[in-house]
Amino acid sequence: MESRRRPGILPCPCAPLLHSVSGVHCKIARIETFPVIYPTRGWFKFLEGPQGQPPRRQSVLVKITADNGAVGWGQSVPTHRWSYETLETVQSTIQNYLAPELIGLDAFDLEAAHEAMNRIIAPSFSTGQPIAKAGVDLALFDLTGRLLGQNAAQRWGKTGRPRLTISWTVNARTLDEVEQVVAEGRARGHRHFNVKVAPDPKFDVELCRLVKRLAPNGFLWADANGGYDEATALAVAPRLADAGVAVLEQPLPAARLTGYRRLKQQGALPILMDEGIVSCVELEEFIRLELLDGIAIKPARCGGITEARRQIELAQNAGLLWLGSGLTDPDVSLAASLALYGAYDLQTPAALNGLQFLSGSVLREPLAVVNGELAVPQGPGLGVDVDETQIAAMRG
């Protein structure tokens, strides 16, 4: 979240950030970080390590303790093949820069906390090191929610939904792999699929046709992760639509704004942005420039649940689509996405593939997909409890 907005940009249409409720106050007394490594299963391109190193899912658990002894947990999920943040930068940023600025602040004053984080780690194009900041934001949300005795839906005055339908990720290197990947997803109760595409448009169209044939009634969502150039994206979008794709996410690199405008004007598929949107500042600008039809929401990408909620409300206010996605989130980060999407009654299958590609858990009661669905945690805060005895076994 940016604390100062550019001239001419309207504020996000959200409720103001929480300062204090019913006389509840506490100050941030201590912030600790714990690097945790989750083993992987299957193949997912974003989890590959540097050359010669096995794939793994790195994360940093964040523990915030208040002056009254209350505790909240968050989680940062750096993905070095997707963005510039790493486990090492997340941990050093929180310990050496964010924590000293936050100690002593009112835990309920989320706006002051984000202003402090954004002062000490300045933005580049958008919010600086948002994945690191997301872990802190989630821990503060969890801490204050526990003190209030409220989950996300309750503190926002939402009815929400108790379960979310989950999409299964098809990240195939050859067409021969596709049938097995789809069959595995269907065996686990999944009916909807998100597909990684780009840069080969011929392969991508055949891939999507095959997935649609194997799951004809499923919601098919194609994500290019910025892998096409403009000419290729314009040529392939109508063919992907003919193959049964419902939406095309991040077809171009984030900075190719004129290309996004042309794709939206083409109208072959609804165009979602992902990597190019970190804060409401650029989302507001891109809406005004008519560059997109919707946004793939990721709390981990945009600095946490606070800013992600603002982006959902901004998209709703503008009549845009919003879909729920993630960064192969484990445990606490996954719980935050479930809490947010459940509270805002997400209507489409969520591309939350952490449990598809990861094993292990630091939760007392690990999250589990049942019949293609995940239950939205109902406890206070983020609704899950970290088992600190499990952290040592998974330390990075």
* CATH label of the domain that carries residue 106: 3.30.390.10
Residue 149 has pLDDT above 90, yes or no: yes
212 and 118 in a single domain? The answer is no
176 and 144 in a single domain? The answer is no
What is the pLDDT, as a whole number, of residue 23?
Answer: 63
Q: Six-digit token pair at 244? A: 């049964």
Domain, as residue range, for 179: 159-387
133 and 164 in a single domain? The answer is no
181 and 75 in a single domain? The answer is no
Residue 22 has pLDDT above 90, yes or no: no
78 and 217 in a single domain? The answer is no
Q: What is the pLDDT averaged over residues 42-56?
A: 79
Q: Which band of pLDDT confidence, cut at 50, 70 and 90, is reported for residue 49? A: confident
> Is residue 15 situated within a structural domain?
no
Q: Which band of pLDDT confidence, cut at 50, 70 and 90, is reported for residue 11? A: very low
Percent of the chain with pLDDT over 70: 94
> Is residue 9 situated within a structural domain?
no
Q: Which long-range contacts (CB under 8 A, 24 or more apart) does 45-49 make?
A: 45/81, 45/171, 45/196, 46/79, 46/81, 46/82, 46/327, 46/328, 47/79, 47/81, 47/328, 47/357, 48/81
Residue 14 has pLDDT above 70, yes or no: no
What is the pLDDT, as a whole number, of residue 395?
Answer: 86
* Domain-terminating residue out of 153, 178, 212: 153
> Is residue 17 situated within a structural domain?
no
Residue 375 has pLDDT above 90, yes or no: yes
Q: Which of 1-10, 284-293, 317-326 has the lowest mean pLDDT?
A: 1-10
370 and 282 in a single domain? The answer is yes
Residue 7 has pLDDT above 70, yes or no: no
Domain count, the chain: 2
112 and 239 in a single domain? The answer is no
127 and 218 in a single domain? The answer is no
Percent of the chain with pLDDT over 90: 86
135 and 167 in a single domain? The answer is no
Q: Please, which residues bridge with residue 66 across strands? A: 28
99 and 190 in a single domain? The answer is no
Which residue has better confidence, 177 or 393?
A: 177
> Is residue 184 situated within a structural domain?
yes
> Is residue 366 situated within a structural domain?
yes
Handedness of CA 14, 16, 20, 21 (dihedral sign): negative
What is the pLDDT, as a whole number, of residue 44?
Answer: 79
> Is residue 3 situated within a structural domain?
no
In angstroms, the CA 275 to CA 253 distance is 8
In angstroms, the CA 168 to CA 171 distance is 10
Q: What does the pLDDT look like over 80-117, one tens digit per residue?
A: 888 999 999 999 999 999 999 999 999 999 999 999 99
Q: Which band of pLDDT confidence, cut at 50, 70 and 90, is reported for residue 45? A: confident
Residue 12 has pLDDT above 60, yes or no: no
Three-class SS state of 73: strand
96 and 205 in a single domain? The answer is no
Residue type for 331, please? D
Q: What does the pLDDT look like over 229-277, one tens digit per residue?
A: 999 999 999 999 999 999 999 999 999 999 999 999 999 999 999 999 9
Site of tokens 């409401």:
280
* Domain-terminating residue out of 153, 175, 205: 153
Residue 43 has pLDDT above 60, yes or no: yes
Cβ pair 269, 241 in contact under 8 A: yes
Q: What is the pLDDT averaged over residues 380-393?
A: 96
Cβ-based neighbour number of residue 283 at 10 Å: 26
What is the pLDDT, as a whole number, of residue 163?
Answer: 98
Residue 5 has pLDDT above 80, yes or no: no
Residue 234 belongs to domain with CATH number: 3.20.20.120
> Is residue 348 situated within a structural domain?
yes
Q: What is the pLDDT averaged over residues 335-350?
A: 98
* Domain-terminating residue out of 93, 126, 153: 153
180 and 134 in a single domain? The answer is no
What is the pLDDT, as a whole number, of residue 124?
Answer: 81
> Is residue 7 situated within a structural domain?
no
Q: What is the pLDDT averaged over residues 47-69?
A: 89
Residue 9 has pLDDT above 80, yes or no: no
Residue 38 has pLDDT above 50, yes or no: yes
Q: What is the pLDDT averaged over residues 266-292?
A: 97
Q: Which band of pLDDT confidence, cut at 50, 70 and 90, is reported for residue 19? A: very low
